Structure 1
Amino acid sequence: MKKKLLLPTDFSKNAWNALKYASELYKNEEVDFYLLHAFTVDNYRIESMAVPEPGEKNYEEAKGKAEKNFKKLFQQIELLEVPANHSYFSKVVFNTPLEAVKQFIEDKDIDMVVISNKGVSDDAKSIMGSNSVNFMEKIRNCPVFMIPGNVAFKEPNEIVFPTSFKTHFKRRELNYLYEISKITNAPIRIFHVAKEEKLSKDQQEKRELLKECFDGLNFTFHTEDHDDIQEALHHFLKSRDSEMIAFINKKHGFFENIFSKSMVKKLGFNTNIPVLTLHDLRN
């Protein structure tokens, strides 16, 4: 079945890098790439009753600028060695980036959203841009794959999958992680931070379920005793030079904690790691 990937773009270098990464990752798959640009107009608020109409000067200027940028972007794409099984489509909409992406996912039944870690308008010193964090936190019905702007595609040495063994796992929720591990030959490192002496019966059952979900893949279990989950995770990633990480995101604000400025400064963490955000589909 043909895969459908959505790539929100602000025409920045980081967004271009995310596109190239996704194209190389799925070079052997049949994929439709949907490139989406959401624009707003000065002096108008999306949530306001007074919104610009097509035909109005400000609206047409903003839309026209985006369409010109798309023309340049497709010229860049033509210079890539685009696989014959890849197709590209563009869409310009008046909306906020988050709401535009949410609506497009529903309209096109998107399989995965691929984003950069920050856009052209974000603070150069920031680790994660505001839109990137919003996408990873608030898009609940579709995986979000974040590609740092300075990361070129390579098969990752491993994919770290942190878990408390308390999440209710389902194969369909882990399917994208399974697929990426399979096509890149990357082993999965299942990482648990232990705050208890031993796993509960329910946790043990979840651990066994993970074995079933990852059957056919190369995976190992790793446990560390630590009071701070985020700090333990950062140390694990850094000590192993891990090149990809995947989460099931159940908590609001989780990514602000993981990528907080204080944590980055304390642990020397950098944004050289692509992050695959999965979701508990019951949320």
Structure 2
Amino acid sequence: MTKKILIPTDFSKNAWNAITFATSLFKNQNCVFYLMNSYSINEFDIGDIKASEFGVTSIDKANNLSKQELKKTLETLKSLNPDVKHTFKTISEYGAPIDVMKSTISKKDLELVIMGTKGRNNHSGTFFGSNTVTAMEEIRNCPVLGVPMDVKLGTLNEIVFPTNYEDSYKKRELAQLVQIAIKHESEICVLYVDPQKELSANQKANMEVLSECLEGSKFSFHHLSSTNRSLAVRSFVESRESKLVAMVNRKHGFFEKIFTTPMVKDLGMFDKVPLLVMHNLRN
């Protein structure tokens, strides 16, 4: 079955890195990659060309420049990526990035978004840009994989999946996680962080359901005794040199809260490790 993947780009170095990461992640697998650029004359900025320099045909010029940059990106990508199982298509559309992403996912029935964690206009001191955080929050029918600057795929030895076992999962919620793990023969390390190791009856039941959801992949269960979950996850990931963190966002506003408060200091691993965000499909 052919995978259909959306890769938003603003033509920044981070966006390009996300593209090459995506093609490596699904090497030798039938995929259609949709390279998407959204533009607006208020925020438009490609190279040294500013919206203020445009005349009455601002939108047309912005559209033409967007298409030109997509064409250049596509030509470069095809010259560097000889994978015959990969097909690339481009989308240039006027509008806010999140709106264009949502409409494209719906119209094309896409199953995964892969994007850089920061764009051209984000501050260097932040781990996640505003577009990435918004995508992880608002795109709830499709997982989003955020790829930090300069991170290369390498060997995907293991994927860390933090959980508190308070909620049950469904196979379709974790489908992309399992598929990636099987393809790369990665171990999914289910990580429970809590001062108490003993699980309640409900947590044990949810743990069993999770095991069923992960069937087909290699997985293991781990416990760390700590009251600081974010630091515990970071320590676990760094000590084992894990290559990917996956989690389910069950609460609206969760990522906005984390990535806009001092808590981000505890999550510094995400400037080195990609983050796969899935959603509770019942919300």
In structure 2, distance between residues paired with 1:268 and 1:92: 33
**How far has the Cα of 1:141 moved from its partner?**
0.6
Letter of the 2:160 counterpart:
V
Are residue 27 (structure 1) and residue 32 (structure 2) matched?
no
Letter of the 2:224 counterpart:
E
Query: Unaligned stretches of 5+ in structure 2?
Result: 45-54
Are residue 17 (structure 1) and residue 17 (structure 2) matched?
yes
1:6-34 CA distance string (max 9 Å, x none): 01110111111111111111112111111
Letter of the 1:73 counterpart:
T
1:138 paired residue number: 138
Q: Percent identity?
A: 37
In structure 2, distance between residues paired with 1:77 and 1:214: 34
**How far has the Cα of 1:268 moved from its partner?**
5.5
TM-score by length of 2: 0.90
Contact 1:264 1:270 in 2 (8 A): no
Q: Could you say what the CA RMSD is over the residues aligned between the two structures, in angstroms? A: 2.1
**Distance 1:268-1:13 versus aligned 2 partners, 3 A rule:** closer
1:221-268 CA distance string (max 9 Å, x none): 111222222222222222222211000111223234554563454576
**How far has the Cα of 1:202 moved from its partner?**
1.4
Letter of the 2:233 counterpart:
L
Contact 1:230 1:258 in 2 (8 A): no
1:47 paired residue number: none
1:269 paired residue number: 269
Letter of the 1:237 counterpart:
V
| Count of aligned pairs between the two proteins | 273
2:117 paired residue number: 117
**Distance 1:175-1:268 versus aligned 2 partners, 3 A rule:** closer
In structure 2, distance between residues paired with 1:157 and 1:257: 30
Letter of the 2:177 counterpart:
L
In structure 2, distance between residues paired with 1:207 and 1:43: 46
Contact 1:249 1:280 in 2 (8 A): yes
1:88-144 CA distance string (max 9 Å, x none): 111111110001101111101001011101011111221111101111111101010
Are residue 207 (structure 1) and residue 207 (structure 2) matched?
yes
Are residue 95 (structure 1) and residue 91 (structure 2) matched?
no
Query: Unaligned stretches of 5+ in structure 1?
Result: 45-54
In structure 2, distance between residues paired with 1:76 and 1:95: 26
